[in-house]
Amino acid sequence: MPHPRATAPQPTLSVVAVDTGGADEGVATVVEGARRAGTSVVLFGPAAEIADPVGEVVDAPLVIAGDEEPAHAVRSKPEASIVQAARAVGNGRAKALVSAGATGAALAASLFHVKRLRGVHRPAIAALVPVPGHPTLLLDAGANVEVRPEHLVQFALMGAAFMRAVHGVERPRIGLLSVGDEATKGTADVVEAHARLAALDADGGGHEFTGNVEGHEVTAGAVDVVVTDGFTGNVALKLMEGTARTVTGAVRDAVRSSPLASLGGLLIRGRLAGLRRELDPNAVGGAVLLGLRRPVVIAHGGSSAEGIANAVRLARRAVDERAVERTADALASAGVLRSGGSASFAP
């Protein structure tokens, strides 16, 4: 017998919980960004500073700073904005989390309250790297400075599922970051991860493992997903961003170096601005935590309002495209879930 249709309106669930704490550009920039995103949000931050709310506001003036030990801070400050926001996602009040605050705090709060997917060893931070014209996801970008081969295997599949779900890459090519193409190149852990990835049934997983990938191949757009440990990945991401900034800065200096060059610069200004936009961290919204039960996006600390808006849109898109569910399916069908444990747990 069919369930009678409810006559009372359902309470509206906010799609994205937004932590306004800790953003370099201040609370107002985050609020403005959330407004521009054009989706329903619930804001966690100092209500007194949120003059013109774009959605529901939960007063949470306490911020966890970047120099606090994340796990300790999250445990000892349950009223902090990131902790309240993560709890709202964990208990279903919102479907995704966006934070412009400290990465460590967002990661710890997500582990405690959003929780990891069943069978996932470790969540990873996934970030798009500055490869013009070719969205390339790198993970882990810093959540786990030391990893085991089984972690790298899960990172690979989580990254591929994300690129499929959110960036529409039908059959993502996965590369394992190493120091040579041969399967024997790299640390012992990388060699072991290579063997395990090569042994996976690629057809079932909807991805292609292309083997090891070297630095210059990454920037040439050789793969869609770059897998590495969180130490190498964090260093790599910051080096790439720094190099892109240094080189575009040197081009700008070259353009300003003489009147004739300045004229030349004027003529290519539009094109150079386009390139800078492509390389701009704000354009992609932020890094994503993969391996959790809900999408979590960590916006760059220095995000502009547009950067925040893109982060919220990215979280919304991950919800709409069922990125988490598809990740869980991909891990299960590849047979790489952690055995033994019947439930996920926070550390």
Neighbours of 151 (CB within 10 A): 24
User: What are the helix (H) ranges across the chain?
Assistant: 27-37, 70-76, 81-90, 103-109, 149-167, 188-199, 202-205, 215-219, 230-255, 259-279, 281-284, 305-320, 323-334
The interface region with a second copy, picked from 21-29, 157-165, 193-201, 261-269 by CB under 8 A, is: 261-269
* Cβ closest to a second copy, residue 198 vs residue 254: 254
- What is the rounded CA–CA span in Å between residue 15 and residue 36? 15
**Applying CB under 8 A, which part among 1-9, 194-202, 252-260, 303-311 lies near a second copy?**
252-260
257: contact with a second copy by CB under 8 A = yes
**Residue 174 CB: number of other CB atoms within 10 A?**
26
Instruction: Name which of residues 47 to 76 contact a second copy (CB under 8 A).
Output: 67
Instruction: Please report whether residue 136 would count as binding a second copy according to CB under 8 A.
Output: no
d(CA 126, CA 141): 6
Taking the complex as a whole, the smallest distance from the CB of residue 265 to a second copy amounts, in Å, to: 6
Q: Are 80 and 21 in contact (CB under 8 A)?
A: yes
User: Stretches 14-22, 242-250, 293-301, 334-342: which one binds a second copy (CB under 8 A)?
Assistant: 242-250
Distances (CA, A) of 192 to 205, 231, 236: 19, 18, 21
Pick the closer one to a second copy by CB: 22 or 45: 22
Which of these ranges, 16-24, 57-65, 70-78, 212-220, lies near a second copy under the rule CB under 8 A? Answer: 212-220
Residue 291 to residue 102: CA distance in whole angstroms: 19
Interacting span for a second copy (CB under 8 A) from 48-56, 76-84, 139-147, 337-345: 139-147
**Shortest distance (Å) from residue 139 CB to a second copy:** 14
Q: CB 264 → a second copy: shortest distance, Å?
A: 3
173 closest CA partner among 126, 206, 150 = 206
Amino acid identity, position 85 = A
The site map against a second copy for 192-211 (x = CB under 8 A) is --------------------
Binding site for a second copy (CB under 8 A): 67, 130-132, 142, 145-146, 177-179, 182, 186-188, 190, 214-220, 228, 230-232, 234-248, 250-251, 254-255, 257-258, 260-261, 263-272, 274-275, 278-279
